[in-house]
Amino acid sequence: MSSLLHSHSPCLLRSGSPGLSFFPSELRSRIPPPQHGVKCCVVSFSLKCENGKPCVPILAGVPTTPSRSPSSAAHLDDALDKHDTRLRIFSGTANPALSQEIACYMGLELGKIKIKRFADGEIYVQLQESVRGCDVYLVQPTCPPANENLMELLIMIDACRRASAKNITAVIPYFGYARADRKTHGRESIAAKLVANLITEAGANRVLACDLHSGQSMGYFDIPVDHVYGQPVILDYLASKSIYCDDLVVVSPDVGGVARARAFAKKLSDAPLAIVDKRRHGHNVAEVMNLIGDVKGKVAVMVDDMIDTAGTISKGAALLHQEGAREVYACSTHAVFSPPAIERLSSGLFQEVIVTNTIPVLERHYFPQLTVLSVANLLGETIWRVHDDCSGGFEPYSSLGID
């Protein structure tokens, strides 16, 4: 799914937000909205932090709750009537707000589950309703604290398996340990493969993940993996900004993210691409060396899958300003925000930092430039299609950007 048409003609990205002050030109045409596919109602669920306080922007004509697309609403209602007793969604403790939004989008209630910690730190899980013969979806990102959330997910899967669930799908909006996907030095572990084995052996039948750090992580699982991209959500939001395509350049913060940035630029009417060349001297430590491409006088949009300590993206932004970029935007699916990320992101280098809620953003991490978009409708629609085997006249998975 793409919110922007692939076009080489000049175009205008509009916004009701005051982030940009470009004036429209009659000689430049507006990109028309998509005529098909599932529309991500991200604006109604985006958290725009004003003066450090989050608020929900409401635009005229935009519903305040996520809704299914008209083309598939009737079929999904039929699916709900037929299968509502066989579909269960349970939430772990890592991101209950996102789980509730997904359930709201699907017109379901979250399943009743009891999760507690004993005094010694052990995790206890008990399903408080029957799941015998049901398709169960467990929503639990393995975000910090990664080890606790991962163990909680494994125990939830085991509880469902022992309760005779027909199918168990682990919905992992953020897959921890994804960066440990290969050996870069001798005698290193490949933790991503280990975690994939743990999830499989615990009893999961399928995994639904969002923006894995690298596509090869899908191959670590011996069960089906549905890989959803958060790009459509961010693209929908950028489409509301008053940025001329002629003024836009998409920037990859490192060489490893070139493929991701190129795909992003292609959906922004084939915007030009720039690459920040960096040399990493240690974990969570990056040093910017030079810039490949032209950003002078342009609005730079930096695209990455996650922001951890923000060292890479902040040093890249400083380089872009040195090279003459007018404004710099940071776009990322996963807001890990390990210290000192907040200090770096709020230092004035960025016009706006756009992330999604695959990882819950704590209130103490809010800052004026931060915008949080919801992926609830994207994940909810994917769950419906997986549950219904994409039958009954659905569009192919590719309309949602699913691998």
- List pLDDT tens digits, range 161-198: 999 999 999 999 999 999 999 898 899 999 999 999 99
CATH code given to domain 11-63+231-374: 3.40.50.2020
Per-domain boundaries in the chain: 11-63+231-374, 70-230+378-400
DSSP state of 360: P
The class of domain 70-230+378-400 in CATH terms is: alpha beta
Rounded CA-CA distance 41/69 in Å is 10
- List pLDDT tens digits, range 277-335: 877 666 666 575 789 999 999 999 999 999 999 998 999 999 999 999 999 999 999 99
Are 306 and 43 contacting, i.e. CB atoms less than 8 angstroms apart?
A: no
To 10 degrees, the CA torsion angle through 290, 294, 300, 302? -40
pTM above 0.85, yes or no: no
Residue 122, Cβ density class (10 Å: 0-12 exposed, 13-18 middle, ≥19 buried): exposed
Alpha-helical segments (H) within 53-175? 70-83, 96-106, 146-162
pLDDT at 244: 83
Rounded CA-CA distance 9/150 in Å is 47
- List pLDDT tens digits, range 84-107: 568 999 999 999 999 999 999 999
Are 158 and 113 contacting, i.e. CB atoms less than 8 angstroms apart?
A: no
Q: What letters, b where the CB count within 10 A reaches 16 and e where it falls short, cover 365-384? A: bbbebbbbbbbbbbbbbbbb
- List pLDDT tens digits, range 250-283: 999 988 899 999 999 999 889 999 999 877 666 6
DSSP-assigned letters across all residues of 367-403: -TTEEEE--HHHHHHHHHHHHTTT-SSPPPGGGGTB-
Does residue 394 register a pLDDT over 50?
Answer: no
Residue type, 398: S
User: Which tokens is 202 given?
Assistant: 């615990």
Does residue 366 register a pLDDT over 60?
Answer: yes
pLDDT at 77: 55
DSSP state of 195: H
Average pLDDT over residues 28-45: 36
Does residue 348 register a pLDDT over 60?
Answer: yes
Same fold, 11-63+231-374 and 70-230+378-400: yes
pLDDT at 262: 95
